[in-house]
């Protein structure tokens, strides 16, 4: 199984799936994770280049397709549209409070990675903390 972890610097977990610079990808064989690559984020989901609208579902589906070889995608924050697109593609999404990529991998391998799915991107909506925008 492959897992992809959103990260801007390959060390810390990105708080915004759609705006991350890239993804650290591991393969897990048995109980041993092996780092494979760092995939740059070439598909923008949100930001100035792509606002919410009619093509939002298509952009999310394209992003999900980019992880077709992964069983799990992990980030510090992820909107419901992206989570749904990953689910439709048969990919598990996990939103985590873990701050480091190593912490995510260790918690996942020990069966202790908690899915904090309530940490979704809210794109400036009232009551949203700045790190989730």
Q: Tell me the domain boundaries of the chain.
A: 2-132
C-alpha Rg value of the chain to the nearest Å? 14
Q: Is the pLDDT of residue 103 over 90?
A: yes
Strands 2-6 and 72-75: parallel
CA distance linking residue 48 with residue 130, whole number of Å: 17
Q: 103: buried, middle or exposed (CB in 10 Å: 19+, 13-18, 0-12)?
A: middle
Q: What is the pTM of this model?
A: 0.82
* CATH code, residues 2-132: 3.30.420.130
pLDDT tens-digit series, residues 5-64: 999 999 999 998 988 999 999 998 887 899 999 999 987 655 444 445 557 788 888 889
Contacts of 120 (CB under 8 A, 6+ apart): 77, 78, 79, 80, 83, 95, 132
């Amino acid at each position: 199984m492959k897992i992809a972890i959103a990260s801007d610097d390959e060390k810390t977990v990105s708080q915004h799936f759609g705006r991350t610079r890239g993804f650290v990808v591991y393969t897990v064989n048995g109980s041993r994770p092996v780092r494979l690559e760092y995939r740059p984020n070439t598909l923008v989901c949100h930001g100035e280049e792509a606002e919410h609208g009619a093509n939002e579902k298509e952009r999310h589906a394209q992003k999900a397709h980019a992880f077709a070889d992964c069983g799990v995608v992990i980030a510090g924050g992820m909107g419901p549209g992206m989570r749904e697109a990953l689910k439709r593609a048969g990919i598990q999404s996990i939103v985590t409070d873990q701050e480091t990529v190593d912490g995510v991998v260790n918690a996942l391998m020990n069966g202790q990675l908690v899915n904090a799915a309530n940490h979704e991107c809210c794109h400036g909506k009232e009551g949203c903390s700045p790190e989730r925008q």
